Amino acid sequence: MATNPPSLDEAVDGSSPRPRLFYFNGGFFTQKRVRRILDLAGYDLTLGKPSQDDLIAVWGKSPTSGRGEKIADRTDAKLVHVEDAFLRSLRTGRDGDPPLGLTVDHSRPYFDCAGPSDLERLLSTEPFDDAHELTRARESIDRIKRLNLSKYNDFDDDAPLPAAGYVLVIDQTRGDASIKHGRANADHFREMLALAQEEHPNARIVIKTHPETQAGHRDGHFTASDAQGKISLFDAKAAPYALMEGAIAVYTVSSGMGFEAILAGHRPVVFGQPFYAGWGLSDDRQPIDRRQRVLTRAQLFAGVMLRYCKWYDPYRDRLCQLEQVLDTLEALTRAQRQDARGHVASRIRLWKRGPLQEIFGGGRFGKDARLRFIEEPDAALLAAKGGSLMIWAGKEPKNLAQRAEAQNTSLLRLEDGFLRSRGLGADLIAPLSLVTDPKGIYYDPTRPSALEGLIASSGTLPSAALLRAERLRMAIVKMGLSKYNLGGARMDVAANGREVILVPGQVEDDASIRLGTRDIATNGDLLAIVRQDFPDAYIIYKPHPDVEAGLRDGKIAADEADMIADKADAIELISKADRICTMTSLLGFEALLRGISVTCYGAPFYAGWGQTDDRGPVPARRGPDASLNGMVHATLIDYPRYYDPVTRQPCPVEVVVERLATGKLPRPSLGNRLLAKAQGALASYAHIWR
């Protein structure tokens, strides 16, 4: 009998030969992502005639799997059964989305109950007593439920849900292999519906249609003719966990949603014999005699999701752990749910339109996912009625928010994110991160912002989220990253034992100065008050990069400073400072990331949460105090949107960190300026050639 393929490490270092994996159906040839995952998993995919020592890949129990099975019979080659993993993609494969993971089984497809699969043997024999693995399982379950993730994730957060108290009956597509090979047929769907009514005579019955039925790709077992009396069909794009929250019972034949029902805390009634039945977590109407073991939810999840599936990272082109797939799906679903209906954008500078069209438009989430540019806010508001209007935060007219609310339009204020680029926006370098704020904007303390809400609630973040924030913070510090990543000259600081204070200069007409300061509102005033408050300190003044580059006004004499660090590396200066004194500069937040004390004379977004020495007009509404990792999660993970220029897709923050540290990104140049202007001029017409 053929042995299992070598581990990934063995395949990479060449200590074990890669098994040859033959395939005989077009799906493996046309689906580049499937071939790539199998290649990374240690298989040498090839065409031709196999020998008895080779392997043959077949896709589950698809109509084309018979070809490989016949050749295996003739050659004594062993079959490898490949299927999509249980968190597959944003949309279905028929909509063109490649998978983020596969299951690879050397015994039989996981849904074929005629005998034990590799998954069943794993669940039957492994102890699942590793505390770290079970913690990962529980944390992943919580995160999946919190993010409302499923096998397919083309959901609408605003989809109406039935009133709580219903029985949820899950439909499947006709011809689904998991039905036939789960010892069920169409009659079991009729029996399921009848028993759901009989066992819950006073409850409403909600039949959940399959996503491919909703999309018009395949028929289900139930139609509108079944929606009579207390029975209704539910075909809205609601996330499964949101739908299960209001259910008093869940009925299924063999749907993957039965597995999700278990994770949601239900004990689903199961009429077939799917992979998740028989482990003490479901009410099995067709018991599987050979499955006698009782597992916890965490143990079942660990076996299925952490060990059995092979997960893929599309940004780094490598296999990965489940947690990285959750990061990917979090980024994709957030962008899809915000962009699927498209946006109208107003008061956007010409050169920014090309990058914004790529980040927020591009049609990647459907034909309506476009970004239209209308310069005048009144006309843009009219065009966006009932939809979404974007406007650059500093250019929002008075009363625009009230007028948008009156016509049921979402107003999103745009601004650069905190890990923006390698180069200045003033040099027309496109951003890798942007914030979209429906409440205010982070630098304006005169009104609440979405970021304030995220920081205020960061105390409720689970430990796994805080650990992710800590790892992110450590990576940023290790790689020496900042908002613009300009680098600069290294400077010696001869403080002779005095406290070193770094004072970052700012552009004095910047909105964060106008809105976030009171008594101290100029660079000169800031240096004077720092000298007054810290008379014995060694003060370094760092002019703002836009001022150094001659792009903005703001040069001063800086007589109060002991040293003027012109064109110096700001991050390197932070490492030499004992304290940062600032009005509202982002360097204050970047200092907090590095454990440096920060004194604020204005009210930046990071002031007022117990992490800074606040001497400015901080809003009383801020609180309770937040941990540094909680603030990092809110500011760098939850608040911004990130864009990967390599895959041209929404991405997690960690990908942008790696791109900024090691990737090839555009730098300031005359060609870049001209190209950016040309792209911006044509961006409104992108629908012509896309």
Domain presence at residue 478: yes
**Could you give the CA distance from residue 579 to residue 577 in angstroms, rounded to a whole number?**
5
Q: Are residues 510 and 603 in the same domain?
A: yes
Angle at 354 between CA 349 and CA 358, to 5 degrees: 130
Domain presence at residue 138: no
**DSSP3 helix / strand / coil % (the chain, rounded to 5):** 40, 15, 45
Per-residue confidence band for 177, with pLDDT thresholds at 50, 70 and 90: very high
Give every CB contact of residue 75 below 8 A, 6+ residues apart in sequence: 49, 50, 51, 52, 54
Q: Are residues 555 and 627 in the same domain?
A: yes
pTM for the structure as a whole: 0.92
Per-residue confidence band for 672, with pLDDT thresholds at 50, 70 and 90: low
- Per-residue three-class SS string for 369-432: CCEEECCCHHHHHHHCCCCEEEEEHHHCCCCHHHHHHHCCCEEEEEEECCCCCCCCHHHCCCCC
pLDDT of residue 552: 67
Q: Is the pLDDT of residue 601 over 80?
A: yes
Q: Are residues 158 and 262 in the same domain?
A: yes
Q: 50 lies in which domain range?
A: 8-125
Kindly tell me the burial class for residue 68, based on how many C-beta atoms sit within 10 Å of its own C-beta (0-12, 13-18, 19 or more). buried
Q: Is the pLDDT of residue 11 over 50?
A: no
For residue 51, how many other CB atoms are within 10 A of its CB? 11
Backbone angles phi, psi at 93, to 5 degrees: -60, -35
Amino acid, res. 92: T
Q: Are residues 479 and 605 in the same domain?
A: yes
pLDDT of residue 364: 85
**Could you give the CA distance from residue 281 to residue 301 in angstroms, rounded to a whole number?**
12
**Could you give the CA distance from residue 520 to residue 329 in angstroms, rounded to a whole number?**
44
DSSP string, 222-279: --GGG--TTEEEE-S---HHHHHHTEEEEEESS-HHHHHHHHTT---EESS--TTTTS
Q: Are residues 425 and 478 in the same domain?
A: no
Which residues is 581 bridged to in the sheet? 599
pLDDT tens, 141-165?
999 999 999 999 999 988 999 999 9
Domain presence at residue 652: no
Give the position of tokens 């065409």: 47
**Could you give the CA distance from residue 642 to residue 630 in angstroms, rounded to a whole number?**
19
**Could you give the CA distance from residue 510 to residue 516 in angstroms, rounded to a whole number?**
10
| 3-state secondary structure (DSSP) of residue 590 | helix
Last residue in a domain, options 72, 92, 125: 125
- Mean pLDDT score, 250-258: 98
Kindly tell me the burial class for residue 213, based on how many C-beta atoms sit within 10 Å of its own C-beta (0-12, 13-18, 19 or more). buried
pLDDT tens, 214-233?
878 899 999 999 999 999 99
Among the ranges given (3-12, 113-122, 638-647), the one the predictor scored with the smallest mean pLDDT: 3-12
pLDDT of residue 213: 85
pLDDT of residue 666: 56
Amino acid, res. 663: G
Last residue in a domain, options 268, 293, 312: 312
**Could you give the CA distance from residue 543 to residue 523 in angstroms, rounded to a whole number?**
9
Which tokens in the block code for residue 145? 């439920």
Provide the pairing of β-strand 283-284 with 231-234. Answer: unpaired
Domain presence at residue 135: no
Q: Is the pLDDT of residue 464 over 70?
A: yes
Say what the alpha-carbon torsion angle 255, 256, 257, 262 is, to the nearest 10 degrees: 110
- Mean pLDDT score, 478-489: 91
Residue 173 carries which DSSP code? B
pLDDT of residue 212: 85
Q: Is the pLDDT of residue 74 over 60?
A: yes
**Could you give the CA distance from residue 305 to residue 346 in angstroms, rounded to a whole number?**
44
Q: Are residues 308 and 169 in the same domain?
A: yes
Kindly tell me the burial class for residue 30, based on how many C-beta atoms sit within 10 Å of its own C-beta (0-12, 13-18, 19 or more). exposed
pLDDT tens, 391-411?
999 999 999 999 999 999 999
Q: Are residues 295 and 354 in the same domain?
A: no
Q: Which of 329, 301, 317 is nearest to 88 (CA)?
A: 329
Q: Is the pLDDT of residue 49 over 90?
A: yes
Domain presence at residue 323: no
Domain presence at residue 369: yes
**Could you give the CA distance from residue 116 to residue 110 in angstroms, rounded to a whole number?**
8
Q: Are residues 522 and 632 in the same domain?
A: yes
Structural domains of the chain, count = 4
Q: Are residues 166 and 267 in the same domain?
A: yes
Amino acid, res. 87: L
Among the ranges given (354-368, 542-556, 629-643), the one the predictor scored with the smallest mean pLDDT: 542-556
Q: Is the pLDDT of residue 654 over 60?
A: yes
* Cα dist from 436 to 345, 538, 671, whole Å: 12, 39, 29
Q: Is the pLDDT of residue 673 over 80?
A: no
Q: Is the pLDDT of residue 607 over 80?
A: yes
For residue 373, how many other CB atoms are within 10 A of its CB? 21
Domain presence at residue 615: yes
**Could you give the CA distance from residue 526 to residue 543 in angstroms, rounded to a whole number?**
12
**Could you give the CA distance from residue 227 to residue 653 in angstroms, rounded to a whole number?**
45
User: What's the chain's length in residues?
Assistant: 690
Q: Is the pLDDT of residue 668 over 70?
A: no
pLDDT tens, 88-132?
999 988 888 999 999 999 999 999 999 999 999 999 999 999 999
- Mean pLDDT score, 439-445: 98
Which tokens in the block code for residue 3? 């042995």
Is pLDDT larger for residue 556 or for residue 643? 643
**Could you give the CA distance from residue 233 to residue 166 in angstroms, rounded to a whole number?**
12
Q: Are residues 422 and 512 in the same domain?
A: no
| 3-state secondary structure (DSSP) of residue 345 | strand
Which tokens in the block code for residue 193? 């519906």
Last residue in a domain, options 296, 312, 328: 312
Which tokens in the block code for residue 59? 């896709």
DSSP string, 32-71: HHHHHHHHHTT-EEE-S---TTSEEEEETT-TTHHHHHHH
Q: Is the pLDDT of residue 24 over 80?
A: yes
pLDDT of residue 558: 80
DSSP string, 127-151: ----HHHHHHHHHHHHHHHHHT--S
Angle between helical axes of 322-339 and 131-147 (0-180°, round to 10): 10
Percent of the chain with pLDDT over 90: 82
Q: Are residues 475 and 572 in the same domain?
A: yes
* Cα dist from 689 to 270, 336, 359, 360, 684, whole Å: 49, 22, 17, 17, 11
Amino acid, res. 478: K
- Mean pLDDT score, 485-513: 93
Backbone angles phi, psi at 35, to 5 degrees: -65, -40
Domain presence at residue 328: no
Rounded to the nearest integer, the mean pLDDT of the chain is 92
Give the position of tokens 């479901």: 282
Contact present, 536 and 499 (Cβ < 8 Å): yes
The domain that holds 489 is classified in CATH as 3.40.50
Q: Are residues 468 and 522 in the same domain?
A: yes
Which tokens in the block code for residue 439? 């409440």
Task: Report whether the peptide linkage leading into residue 624 is cis, meaning its omega lies within 30 degrees of zero.
Answer: yes
Provide the pairing of β-strand 166-170 with 78-84. Answer: unpaired
Residue 89 carries which DSSP code? B
